[in-house]
Structure 1
Amino acid sequence: MNDPRPPSLWRDDDFRRLWAGQTASQLGAHACQVILPLVAVVALNADPHQTGALRAVQQAPILLLSLLVGAWVDRRRSRTVMVLADSGRAVVLAVVPAAYLLGLLDIPLLLLVAFLVGVLTVYFDVAYHACLVRLVRRGQLAQGNSALEGSGSAARIAAPALGGALVSLLSAPIALAASAFFFTLSFLSIQRIRRPEPMPEPPSAREAGVWRQIHEGLRLVAGNASLRAVGISSALFQFSFAAFMTVYLLFLPRTLHLSGVAIGLVLAAMGPGALVGSVLAATLPARYGYGVVMVSAAVLADGVMLCVPALHGSSALTVAALMAVNFLFGVFSQVVDVTVVTVRQAITPIPLQGRVVATVNFLGMGLTPLGSLLGGHLAGVAGPRTSLLLAAVALALSPLFMATSPLARLGRNLPGTADGLARPH
């Protein structure tokens, strides 16, 4: 177990099955995020309020369930949860093309599908983070995470373009069958993992209360100035970005009149940017300081989105400009994400890592349904272009808060390490 050079995980059949399943699941999830709103906009002629509601109900389970699911999954076999979540998403999404072919597809059914997919996605995402730790040795975690994150970035590149192309070729409702197919591939691969996964040990009487465990994570984030700043800046960004993306998905097909293929290419441009950002995030903080890099990258990422409302028409030049904007946004937002995660991990004691992640996600992603509803409302009242400008301006709230928080004062050395904070009492 202490071998400084553990064997390559690519020789491990079970890890390859997990990697293949996770890659397929990421493709399905990212394609679904593009196709599902386009089903409402293109096939059902949804108005802005309905589009905002659709995105909100898909995101609502993050707010409603993430903290509880985190505590629940810690007591279950993660692979079983992943298989059930993926098979459930495949079945639920298959309802949409079936209902479309039968003439039964409408907005209420689409809202129900979006909510159920959101619920199952919360279960899968929480279980996935626990699965790798239970499958490989500690010395192989870095290698495993690198491989899985690499495939996740590739999925973010390929899935939007694939989704947009399928919408153009097959119609939006039929294109959802592609997401269902990827989820099917995922659970078939994951269920073939042969290495037994023991049932997690039940918590001690002192730790048994789910609400007690949740409270510990909330108390740490609220009581630490840097972690509190991470949570608040994340909440400001996710709220504004949810509003922005809701209007964006109306702006591209209806105001700029872009085709499904063009929309896919525009959204896919964030993926290569994220890959570049990951490389930069590995070196920039050590050279310039974590605070400077974090705040500067946030300003550049959110500032570049102010260019979008100024664009007109559906020409190749407009598509190229949108791709350039999304590429730059992908670069700088990934620098922010990686830097923030590094800071959070360094500050958080190891026994509380999972609960702090769940708490920060709850604070940040939990506001996305409200942002989506606001975006849909603004688009209906003020029109897509004006609403897009307002949402882009609101994105500046996050870097503004960062600049006034303890995060901006972080230097090249982090304030502590997780190992140092996690010594047993």
Structure 2
Amino acid sequence: MWRDGDFRSLWVGQTASQLGEHTSLLVLPLFAVLTLDAGAGELGVLRAVGQAPILLLSLFVGAWVDRWRTRTVMVLSDAGRTLALGAAALAGLLGGLGLPALYVVVFAVGVLSVFFDVAYQSSLVRLVRRDQLVRGNSALEGSRSAAQIGGPALGGALVSWLSAPVAACVGALFFTLSFLSIRRIRRVESVPDLPKHPERRPPRTGRRIYEGLRFVVGDTSLRTVCLASAAFQFSFAALMTVHLLFLPRELHLPGAVVGLSLAATGPGALLGSLLAARLPGRFGHGAVLVSAAALGDGAFLWVPALHGSSAMTVVALLAVGFVFGAGGQLVNVTVMAVRQAVTPDGMQGRAAATITFVGMGLTPLGSLLGGYLAQEWGLRTSLLVTAAGMLLSPVVMALSPLARLGRTLPEPARHAGPTSD
């Protein structure tokens, strides 16, 4: 498969895109905190603005991308993100980037990232044979884990050693590399035909979105996954807003160490991927989901107890990130297997988009809540409260039939109504 130039171009482009995304996810908040002296509320708003496109656009983008060539969507998204981050870097170097402009940049990058992420998740099916999907997904997942390790570490180091505008410029260069690589894909994609009557497109898109929502709500396992994911993502968004303030201001850690602590989730995620291939078949999918979520989410309860910037503090933060990454990835892979098992083939894309929409839709509100709590309650108390909130996710799963899933995956649920794509 690696001899296939189109797949190689996709892999290089996706890797570069993930590095740019994970670098900018740390650089832009640190720019606000360290350069613009943003307060807790302002940082919460900044993160919420960047996450809002997930809530506003993901369902529509999912239905829309099915009608376009994924290569075109990814190339245009990369070009837009390059321009947005490049403009931010230039304005920052000239001293003209304030918080209002940073809000615009973060929102633009968030919108374009929704388009890119949906498109690249659909692109592999159109570029490789079905018998190559497992290896292809494994390669793409490996690059994502590598980006989780390298992106925050690189972004934090650049902010600490050089400046936030230079770090933003590096993020723009990653998106440029992705743009150039994906442009090299030459294979003509098989795209579903457009409706013969253009005026029927909106009802068709609306009906497809409704079918996905109805299917997920009607299935007990998928409904529980949505509720647990929403509880986790809401609390995690609040926690990360406080966390990004707690590390530099309460523990007095430099940007490089902040990035390193966040990068520790990457090696943990690699371990979680390996464990996901063995543990559910040995202990049961339900038991693995609940225990992994409790262990990974509970790791952050230790962070509020840390004081100072000693080596032991850094080691403890690395350990927390590693355990959180391992538990989180184990949950993600197991949930994906359950979702794919219970979902008919014709509903796979819409089920995934619906779960993403419901699970990630509350993250802007979570970020706003984190900023408010940090402002009103203080960083240490807010960190403890938001970390405890993440434990709602394993509680929801433990109280549902999802916890009773055994070693074998359930059969696909019956779906009434049209499922054609």
TM-score, shorter chain, exceeding 0.5? yes
How does the TM-score come out when normalised to structure 2? 0.96
Say if 2:15 and 2:143, in contact at 8 Å, map to a contact too: yes
Tell me the alpha carbon deviations over residues 335-370 of structure 1, each in whole angstroms, 9 at most, x when there is no partner. Answer: 111111110110011111100111000001110000
Q: Does 1:117 align with 2:102?
A: no
Counterpart in the other structure of 1:349: 344
Match of 1:225 among 220, 245, 257: 220
Counterpart in the other structure of 1:369: 364
Match of 1:147 among 131, 135, 139: 139
Q: Does 1:314 align with 2:309?
A: yes
Aligned-partner SS, 1:209: helix
Aligned pairs (5 A) from 1:376-387: 376-387=371-382
Bigger mean CA deviation after superposition, 261-270 or 95-104: 95-104
Tell me the alpha carbon deviations over residues 383-411 of structure 1, each in whole angstroms, 9 at most, x when there is no partner. Answer: 11110000011111111111001110111
2: CA distance, partners of 1:320 / 1:28: 26
Tell me the alpha carbon deviations over residues 77-96 of structure 1, each in whole angstroms, 9 at most, x when there is no partner. Answer: 11000000001001001111
Counterpart in the other structure of 2:18: 26
2: CA distance, partners of 1:102 / 1:160: 24
Aligned pairs (5 A) from 1:168-207: 168-203=160-195
Say if 1:267 and 1:326, in contact at 8 Å, map to a contact too: yes
**Percent identical:** 63
Q: Alpha-carbon deviation of 1:202?
A: 2.1
Aligned pairs (5 A) from 1:297-336: 297-336=292-331
2: CA distance, partners of 1:382 / 1:168: 28
Tell me the alpha carbon deviations over residues 231-262 of structure 1, each in whole angstroms, 9 at most, x when there is no partner. Answer: 11000000000000010000010100101111
Q: Alpha-carbon deviation of 1:422?
A: 12
Bigger mean CA deviation after superposition, 193-202 or 87-96: 193-202
Q: Does 1:82 align with 2:74?
A: yes
Aligned-partner SS, 2:29: helix
Counterpart in the other structure of 2:267: 272
Q: Alpha-carbon deviation of 1:274?
A: 0.3
Tell me the alpha carbon deviations over residues 155-184 of structure 1, each in whole angstroms, 9 at most, x when there is no partner. Answer: 111111111111012211221001100000
Counterpart in the other structure of 1:64: 56
Say if 1:43 and 1:173, in contact at 8 Å, map to a contact too: no
Tell me the alpha carbon deviations over residues 300-329 of structure 1, each in whole angstroms, 9 at most, x when there is no partner. Answer: 111111000000001111001100111011
Change (3 A) 1:424 1:152: closer
Say if 2:50 and 2:107, in contact at 8 Å, map to a contact too: yes
Counterpart in the other structure of 1:105: 97
2: CA distance, partners of 1:31 / 1:145: 22
Aligned residues, how many?
417
Change (3 A) 1:423 1:339: farther
Aligned-partner SS, 1:11: coil
Code of the residue aligned with 1:178 in structure 2: it is: V
2: CA distance, partners of 1:30 / 1:307: 24
Code of the residue aligned with 2:173 in structure 1: it is: F
Counterpart in the other structure of 2:393: 398
Q: Alpha-carbon deviation of 1:137?
A: 1.0
Code of the residue aligned with 2:77 in structure 1: it is: A
Say if 1:94 and 1:177, in contact at 8 Å, map to a contact too: yes
Code of the residue aligned with 1:230 in structure 2: it is: V
Gap regions ≥5 residues in structure 1: 1-8
2: CA distance, partners of 1:401 / 1:420: 25
2: CA distance, partners of 1:424 / 1:298: 32
Match of 1:157 among 124, 149, 160: 149
Q: Alpha-carbon deviation of 1:201?
A: 1.4
Say if 1:246 and 1:375, in contact at 8 Å, map to a contact too: yes
Say if 1:77 and 1:200, in contact at 8 Å, map to a contact too: no
